[in-house]
């Protein structure tokens, strides 16, 4: 039983509240640790440490900031095997996924922004005819808040922290209380990399207590949040009167549209991945699958056959394809959506049941589930399920499927499978989403903007977009004539 602590000013502290939360292992349903439920006093202490560190860190040379961030990246890579096991145990995801995707990507985040900050240039404008020059001075904001979700714990935690630090800010960060362990381990790595005390502070706890204290703090000047749309709306409402900068990466109900002229074999293999990777607990998973009518029956048979071969098992087993869902309450939520789909005349083609894994019967396991639905307006096609559940239905024309793709409140990502280049470009312009993949899925270039439209969020992460978010632009005009 491990009891973790808050990381403030380069040291570890028990919560001032003396309140603790149980941490469950999704694979077996057992409590294996406790985490702080930090109070406003804990958040205030983290803020004071960050504010004290800011004058020095913000004036640290770009080269020195870059060196430290890249050192953190190297240490993450050096500890990959240990961190992957910690992530798998804490989250329920297969170990091979944590080893090949999550921890390497966390290291890449620090390396990318460590390098990017040295190339982040300001604009200048020579005012011809006025003997004046204007330039844009981009300065760090100060102390910022970063709040990350449970589905990709270290991956998304570092996706926020790395650019905030690179830009010269100091951070008060809160990982998900459901998956806190790799964020906790990051403290030691930052100390080993000689990140100055107070530059990064990590406080643990519930969103309703610790998270609320961060977003309400009058002197934390910006909030970067990834999580549910309902929580994002609450943050927007709370922070609006405080005039904080806000970046919200929220939910998705992403369409995966398949035309008859696609590369069928590649499409089928990738569609299984885009449906069920990380137990479907990725905001970018293609949970609504639309298939052109002429190949619909063939696709339905082939897809279900492949899905049935996916093995549900303990996350640490090498042959596990589908690990455990993150919590008992989340498993119940996903099961409720399956039940609603049945009530609305959805046909379960495979899956739909919880699974008892031998030796780990109390774990939170669910079969990968494919549901044939009659309309795009059914509940399961309109609301984010965030589990190993996808729906399929046919379409007859490009206009028909475009209407269905956009007929949700979300607009995060979309995938289109076609070998018609004109159609691909034409549809990309009309799809209401922040990310459109053509003939691929989850192919990310960290230089590109990441985020969604509508209820999927506000602002963009990634590349220079996020460095712009974590800096304040100031126009300086000099008349020299």
Tokens of 167: 């830009």
Tokens of 356: 């008892």
User: Angle between the 62-78 and 153-166 helix axes, to the nearest 10 degrees?
Assistant: 160
Tokens of 184: 């906790």
The SS3 assignment for 268 reads: helix
> In angstroms, what CA-CA distances link 394 with 227, 284, 319, 390, 436?
31, 21, 33, 14, 20
- The rounded Cα 198 to chain-centroid distance in angstroms is 25
Given the residues 87, 249, 372, 398, the one annotated as active site: 249
Largest CA distance in the chain: 81
Phi, psi (rounded to 5 degrees) for 149 = -95, -175
Q: What is the rounded distance in angstroms from the CA atom of residue 380 to the CA atom of residue 370? A: 12
In terms of DSSP H, where are the helices of 117-239?
Answer: 153-166, 181-192, 212-216, 229-239
Please check whether residue 324 is in contact with residue 279, taking contact to mean a CB–CB distance below 8 angstroms.
Answer: yes
Catalytic residue check, 25 = no
Chain position carrying tokens 């609301």: 383
Q: What is the rounded distance in angstroms from the CA atom of residue 160 to the CA atom of residue 10? A: 19
Catalytic residue check, 378 = no
Q: What is the rounded distance in angstroms from the CA atom of residue 381 to the CA atom of residue 341? A: 9
Given the residues 146, 170, 283, 378, the one annotated as active site: 283
Classify 350 in phi/psi space as left (phi over 0), alpha (psi -120 to 50) or beta: beta
Catalytic residue IDs: 249, 283
């Amino acid at each position: 039983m491990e009891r973790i602590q808050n990381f403030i000013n380069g040291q570890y502290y028990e919560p001032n509240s003396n309140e603790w939360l149980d941490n469950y292992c999704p694979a077996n349903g057992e409590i294996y640790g406790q985490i702080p439920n930090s109070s406003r006093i804990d958040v205030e202490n983290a803020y004071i440490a960050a504010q004290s560190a800011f004058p020095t860190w913000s004036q640290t040379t770009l080269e020195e900031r870059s060196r430290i961030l890249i050192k953190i990246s190297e240490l993450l890579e050096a500890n990959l095997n240990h961190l992957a096991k910690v992530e798998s145990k804490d989250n329920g995801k297969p170990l091979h996924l944590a080893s090949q995707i999550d921890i390497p990507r966390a290291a890449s985040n620090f390396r990318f922004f460590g390098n990017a900050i040295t190339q982040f240039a300001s604009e200048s404008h020579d005012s011809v005819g006025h003997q004046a020059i204007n330039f844009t001075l981009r300065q760090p904001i100060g102390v910022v808040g970063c709040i990350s979700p449970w589905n990709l714990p270290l991956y998304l935690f570092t996706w926020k922290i790395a650019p905030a630090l690179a830009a010269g800010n100091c951070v008060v960060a809160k990982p998900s209380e459901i998956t806190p362990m790799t964020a906790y381990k990051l403290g030691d790595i930052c100390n080993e990399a000689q990140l100055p005390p107070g530059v990064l502070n990590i406080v643990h706890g519930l969103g309703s207590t610790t998270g609320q204290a961060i977003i309400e703090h009058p002197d934390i000047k910006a909030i970067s949040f990834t999580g549910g749309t309902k929580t994002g709306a609450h943050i927007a409402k709370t922070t609006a009167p405080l005039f904080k900068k806000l970046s919200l990466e929220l939910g998705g109900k992403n369409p995966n549209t398949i035309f008859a002229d696609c590369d069928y074999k590649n499409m089928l293999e990738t569609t299984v991945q885009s449906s069920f990777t990380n137990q479907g607990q990725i905001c970018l998973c293609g949970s609504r699958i639309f298939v052109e009518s002429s190949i619909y029956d063939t696709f339905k048979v082939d897809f279900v056959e492949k899905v049935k071969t996916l093995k549900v098992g303990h996350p640490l087993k090498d042959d596990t394809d589908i690990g455990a869902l993150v919590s008992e309450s989340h498993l119940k939520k996903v099961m409720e959506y399956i039940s609603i789909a049945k009530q609305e005349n959805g046909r379960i083609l495979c899956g739909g049941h919880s699974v008892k894994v031998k030796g780990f019967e109390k774990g939170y396991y669910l079969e990968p589930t494919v549901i044939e639905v009659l309309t795009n307006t059914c509940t399961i096609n309109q609301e984010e399920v965030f589990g190993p559940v996808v729906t399929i239905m046919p379409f007859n024309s490009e206009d028909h499927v475009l209407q269905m793709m956009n007929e949700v409140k979300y607009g995060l990502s979309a995938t289109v499978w076609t070998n018609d280049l004109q159609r691909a470009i034409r549809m990309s312009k009309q799809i209401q989403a922040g990310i459109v993949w053509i003939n691929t899925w989850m192919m990310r270039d960290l230089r590109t903007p990441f985020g969604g439209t509508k209820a999927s969020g506000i602002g963009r992460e990634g590349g220079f977009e996020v460095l712009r978010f974590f800096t304040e632009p100031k126009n300086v005009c000099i008349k020299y004539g």
